[in-house]
Amino acid sequence: MTRSAITIPVSIATLEQLKHLLTELDIALSSKRTKRSLSADLQAALQENGIDSLTAQTTAQLRSAVSDLIAQLPVVKVVTAQPLENAQQASIQKWFTSNIARRVILSFKTDSSLLAGVILQTPENRYDFSLQAGLSTGRALLAKRVAA
């Protein structure tokens, strides 16, 4: 290993990816999988840290880095009516990476009660860009104007 501190690639940005990485680390060490049979995310983490093979020590360091990341970074929940395709999730990840000053973990959820749109929930705020919210706002504006 060429670095003293283990880092997790920015491309691994969802809670699901991070949890999968933890599970895969356990499986990879116990089954002695080859580097080629590892997921792209785990291969990226190994490459970023100059790790040629998984040992008990490097696995523990990677697990610790992932766990620390989950504990330290804010989770932004992205709620949609239907599951997003990988390309759509990647587009949202890219937008957050480009427009938010700090790194966040994205957690994608679905809520079938939404007709359309998206709801973003940060630790501090909720941003509702759903169709229901738009209709509700429009209804309130119309009621206000009619009453005036």
- Report domain extents, the chain: 15-72, 75-147
Report whether pLDDT(50) > 50. yes
Provide the pLDDT for residue 34: 65
Q: CA 133, 136, 142, 144 torsion: positive or negative?
A: negative
More confident residue, 73 or 102: 73
The two structure tokens encoding residue 143: 């009621």
Mean pLDDT, range 26-37, rounded to an integer: 74
Predicted TM-score (pTM) of this structure: 0.70
What token pair was written down for 117?
């749109």
pLDDT of the residue at 101: 61
Mean confidence (pLDDT) of the chain:
83
Tokens of 5: 């501190």
Phi, psi angles (nearest 5°) of residue 129: -110, 30
Q: Determine the Cα–Cα distance for residues 117 and 68; give it in Å rounded to an integer.
A: 32
The 10s digit of each residue's pLDDT in 113-144 is 888 888 988 888 888 888 887 777 777 777 77
